[in-house]
């Protein structure tokens, strides 16, 4: 299992656009790698279609997208036609799907769901999401069971938070949306906070500790 802050393992794999080496494919961009239990499965078909529709949003955020499923490239190419038909998509599919027939990447990245198995009794790949920074380090991971589809609008919300907090000395509160108020980091002394965030507010709480400080979202 890859831990947050670790350099994400580089690998070579066949995909629907040919052989991919992960780090070279990402270049200096952010990356999202999301896994799927199998081709020609209903929940996965909705998920890949959703991400294809959101491709302009990921591109706007300087992201490259990659899916991975435990079937071969030929199956992936056939499945893409179903994905496009069901989700009313046309044109070139906007991201590659990696083949992982032997589940080598699924094992390496800790993505197997032991409670869900295919017809042959093999464990299915869980619905993992990995966000990889331009420095190739893992910034976020989410792991869903095979039976639960992901909310990719939430993934975009998290990406907005990750990119903001990578540049600014703030954290984002519960249910934060892009442009909303942020929290001043507790590690920032009061004098520095006044300089960095002149419009910030200190919230009084029964403990008397002045750790709850909100500020308009930094530009």
Q: What is the pairing mode between strands 201-202 and 213-215?
A: antiparallel
Please write the tens of the pLDDT for every residue from 23-80. Answer: 999 999 999 999 888 899 999 999 999 999 999 999 999 999 999 998 899 999 999 9
CA-to-CA separations, 11 to 21, 104, 207, in angstroms, rounded: 6, 11, 50
Q: What are the start-end ranges of the H helices in the chain?
A: 22-26, 42-53, 55-60, 73-86, 104-108, 152-167, 190-196
Q: pTM higher than 0.75, yes or no?
A: yes
* 55 contacts 86 by C-beta, under 8 angstroms: no
Please write the tens of the pLDDT for every residue from 164-173. Answer: 999 999 999 9
Locate 179 and state its tokens.
């442009």
44 is catalytic: yes
Q: Which domains does the chain have, with CATH numbers?
A: 6-161 (3.40.30.10), 168-215 (3.30.1020.10)
Q: What percent of the chain has pLDDT over 70?
A: 93
């Amino acid at each position: 299992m890859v831990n947050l802050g670790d350099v994400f393992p580089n690998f070579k794999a066949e995909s629907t656009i040919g052989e991919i080496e992960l780090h070279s494919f990402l270049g200096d961009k952010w990356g999202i790698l999301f896994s799927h239990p199998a081709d020609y499965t209903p929940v996965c078909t909705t998920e890949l279609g959703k991400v294809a529709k959101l491709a302009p949003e990921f591109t706007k955020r300087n992201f490259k997208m990659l899916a991975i499923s435990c079937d071969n490239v030929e199956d992936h190419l056939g499945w893409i036609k179903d994905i496009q038909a069901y989700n009313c998509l046309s044109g070139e599919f906007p991201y590659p799907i990696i083949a992982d027939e032997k589940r080598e990447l699924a094992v390496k990245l800790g993505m197997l769901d032991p409670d869900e198995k295919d017809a042959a009794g093999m464990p299915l790949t869980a619905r993992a999401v990995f966000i990889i920074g331009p420095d190739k380090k893992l910034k976020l991971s989410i792991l869903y069971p095979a039976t639960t589809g992901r909310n990719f609008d939430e993934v975009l919300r998290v990406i907005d938070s990750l990119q903001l907090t990578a540049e600014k000395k703030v954290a984002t509160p519960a249910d934060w949306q892009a442009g909303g108020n942020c929290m001043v980091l507790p590690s920032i002394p009061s004098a520095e906070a006044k300089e960095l965030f002149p419009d910030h507010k200190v919230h009084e709480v029964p403990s008397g500790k002045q750790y709850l400080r909100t500020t308009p979202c930094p530009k």
